[in-house]
Structure 1
Amino acid sequence: MIIEIDERKFQNIFGIDPHPFISNKFLSLNRNKVEKIVWLVENIGKPEIGLVAGIKDDKLLSPFSAPFGGFHFKKENIYSTTVDHFILLLQEYVMSVGYKEFRVTLPPNIYHQTFNAKCTSSLLRANFQSLIPEITSWVDLQQFKGVYGQKNSREYYRQALRNELVFEYTETEDDKLEGYNLIKDNRAKFGRPIYMSLDDINQTSNLWPVDFFKVSTKEGNIVSFAILYRLNPQIVYAVFWGDNELGRSQRAMDFLLLNLWSHYHKLGYKYVDLGISTEDSIPNSGLLRFKETHEAVSSLRYKFNLIN
């Protein structure tokens, strides 16, 4: 059966987090957003799979304040029968405790493709409901050649060069605030609210490095901005980006992204996770096309629930 244990015991069992959004330090930062956090493992033998989830409104949630959640596990090549066993025990646990619902969003495959495949198969066969998946995108920096593969994107980048735009990493508080407000206005224009304040982002920098980049005109006006998390030595997560009207006419985003890919490629990162291009699982066609014409590939990010 599945039992609750304390976080210290859970950490001792699973010394490595499959991704930072289910790490203890990230969950601790956001624990005020749920009524309770539970650490779940099987009570027999040496646990190989675990789940950390938040409880809110009588629902068991993973994630409860992150792009995605999912399971802890000892190793990727775990037996599929072990995954099946844990999922069945989890189903029994949700029903026996009496939660109204269990919801889980698995990470993109760049975090752990092998475990994702076995977990998705197991959840489906155990009759967990598969919600419509989100479309998520990432840039494979191992395949990046230093130029855009798309002809139009290459031309837009050349236009940006002719406009004498400047790409810079910035640490000044004034730049951060101006860039954040630029992104906020950009998202509002396209009906996409921003769920984090600048203070929230700055607090996250206590967990992992947060990078701020600006593109400016030769006169020094910021026309596009990006905020990224360096989640681990292999993956950078693009939290927010955007441009303004002047930046759009100057091709600032085309300039920004190629410089970002080059920057992280030189630092040895393997992927830039660009997040989802869907809203309530409905594709944002323009956003998805923009990412894909700027070196991104797309796949599905699976979501499951279980109603009691």
Structure 2
Amino acid sequence: MIVREVSAADYRNRFPQAGHVFNSIQFASLNASKVGKVLYLLIEDEGRTRFGLILGDRGDLLASPFSAPYGGLEYSRDERVEKVSEAVEAVADFGREKGLPVRLTLPPRFHSPEMNMKITAALLNRPGALSHADYNYHYELNRVTDFEKWLSPSARRNFHTSLKSDFRFEPLGNTPDDISRAYEIIRINHESLGHALRMSRQAVIDTAEVLKADFFIMTLDGIDVAAAQIYHVAPGIVQLINWGDLPAYRSLRPMNFMAWKVMEHYHAAGEKIYDLGPASEDGVPATGLCDFKEGLGCRLTMKFTFKI
């Protein structure tokens, strides 16, 4: 196989609809200023394009994604194991020609499970290619019709505590004012925990203009106490990007209530998977966050990062 660098327009012609939003031309273009160059690659075999890949040149490596939770190879049909392995080798060769390693973070397994596993296996079979594996949690939304059944004992107690307060759950619009309202709660939450937000307020507003984003607020006695930012990332799949509560209200367990209402909302909308994202950093688990997500009834899959 050969790797051919093309224009964004040519790449879009070959892959007009990305498998997930973080592999889209629109998302790459929005974040292009974060890297030295965006490379749009077609991976071809016998005159046929089998895969695509968008890489960001960070100076010391070529990365997919370069500003997202995951990226990886794009494809329009299932490919045989042989072709997947050849594509991975072609990408590694491309990096060697550029004098840079290629870093790939793959989506969690519930995205195109069969092809995802073929790509993962091809990369795992390269000695030393695995950088780390993150703990990623998702919720199968058909389970929310019997929400309490899947809760751990401690999560059930916290959920019952949340029901004692008159929380109000409200979907917001995508106006700058609505986004800022949710962002402010999340910002305060993250600062209270010593975590910096990776997206600025303006970046959140700009991103909501190029992909489908939802924002939610929870109030108590007219006061905003919790918020969530969620993206539609693939057909049937929504992903939690950021959420949080105000420290002063944490003992009332608003996040347990928020989790339930978000799951109900998306189940009613016909979505299938709610991806709550990772509970680790570079493979190191945040055990409290793991416990929280497992307590809600989430399932664990691994999100692999490779360097080839």
TM class, shorter-length: over 0.9
Deviates more, 1:224-233 or 1:26-35: 224-233
Give the unaligned 5+ runs of structure 2.
none
- Aligned pair in 2 of structure 1 residues 279, 189: CA closer, same or farther (>3 Å)? farther
Task: Give the match for residue 210 of structure 2.
Answer: 207
Deviations 1:126-168 (A, max 9, x none): 3351012011111111333242222433333332222212111
The alignment status of 1:116 with 2:119, answered yes or no, reads no
What displacement does 1:14 show? Answer: 2.3
Cα 1:280–1:191 shift into 2, 3 Å = farther
Gapped regions of structure 1 (runs ≥ 5): none
Q: How many residues align?
A: 303
- Is the partner of 1:127 in helix, strand or coil? coil
Aligned to 1:291: 293
Give the secondary-structure state (helix, strand or coil) at the position aligned to 1:48: strand
Q: Which residue pairs with 1:38 in the alignment?
A: 39
Matched residue, 1:245: 247
Instruction: Decide which of 223, 226, 234 is 1:224's aligned counterpart.
Output: 226
Secondary structure of the 2:110 match is: helix
Shift of 1:293: 0.8
Deviation at 1:184, TM superposition (A): 1.5
Map 1:67-216 onto structure 2 (within 5 A): 67-76=69-78, 78-99=79-100, 101-127=101-127, 129-148=129-148, 149-150=150-151, 151-171=153-173, 176-216=179-219
The one-letter code of the counterpart of 1:106 is: L
Q: What SS class does the counterpart of residue 184 from structure 1 fall into?
A: helix
Report the equivalent of 2:305.
Answer: 303
Instruction: Verify the 8 A CA contact 1:131 1:305 in the aligned structure 2.
Output: yes
2:271 aligns with 269
Q: Give SS of 2:111's match.
A: helix
Distance 2:139 2:281 in 1: 20
Letter matched to residue 182 of structure 2 = G
CA RMSD after TM alignment: 1.8
- Which whole-Å deviations, capped at 9, do the CAs of 1:231-275 have from their partners, x for residues lacking one? 344111111111122321222111111011001000000011111
Identity rate, percent: 30
Q: Relative to structure 2, which stretch is displaced further, 174-183 or 227-236?
A: 174-183
Alpha-carbon separation, structure 1, partners of 2:204 and 2:146: 29
- Cα offset, 1:109, TM superposition: 1.2
Equivalent AA in structure 2 for residue 103 of structure 1? R
Q: Deviations over 1:71-97 (max 9, x none)?
A: 011213x10000111111222221122
Question: Could you tell me whether the CA contact under 8 Å between 2:279 and 2:290 is conserved in 1?
Answer: yes
Shift of 1:209: 2.4
SS at match of 1:196: coil
1:27 aligns with 2:28: yes
